[in-house]
Amino acid sequence: MSIPKILIAEDEEGLRELYRLRFELESFNVIFAKNGEEALKKIKKEKPDLVLLDIMMPKKSGIDVLKELRKDPTNKKIPVVILSVLSEEHFKTKAKKLGANAYLVKADVMASDVVSKVKEILGSQ
């Protein structure tokens, strides 16, 4: 089985590093994007198995990235897990309607929870 490739779109360097370490410990190949525009470019180029996507990012929000991703026939099936500080229900509802596979609130989860959710989604494909 090939090593799963995950793209982490997160503008906070500390969180990128935390998730890089956690996912690499679990034998994931990790790539990063620091903003929404970079995320879309890397998704097209790298074809990750899953995208971990923050909502509040520079240049293009995670919601805009999700919209564009779901419009693109070649990438619309890539699972997306939203990982955001935004806990309001309308953000969760919007993300789900746009095709997010899961919505996790940063304050409510530990890195191990995020890894578990990603493994669950990838395992169910």
Dump pLDDT digits (tens) for 4-19.
999 999 999 999 999 9
pTM for this one? 0.93
Q: How many domains does the chain have?
A: 1
Q: Which residue has the tokens 């929404």?
A: 36
Looking at residue 115, its pLDDT comes to 93
Dump pLDDT digits (tens) for 23-48.
999 999 999 999 999 999 999 999 99
**75 pLDDT above the threshold of 90:** no
Average pLDDT, the chain: 92
**1 pLDDT above the threshold of 70:** no
Taking residues 41-61, report their average pLDDT.
94
CA distances from 85 to 61, 103, 107 (A): 13, 10, 7
**100 pLDDT above the threshold of 80:** yes
Taking residues 44-71, report their average pLDDT.
93
The residue range of the domain holding 73 is 5-123
Q: What is the spatial distance between Cα 10 and Cα 75, in angstroms, rounded to a whole number?
A: 19
Q: What is the spatial distance between Cα 48 and Cα 106, in angstroms, rounded to a whole number?
A: 22
Q: Which CATH number covers residue 91?
A: 3.40.50.2300
Q: Which residues contact 70 (CB under 8 A, 6 or more apart)?
A: 76, 98, 99
CA distances from 48 to 75, 79, 83, 110 (A): 9, 9, 17, 23
Q: What is the spatial distance between Cα 86 and Cα 107, in angstroms, rounded to a whole number?
A: 9
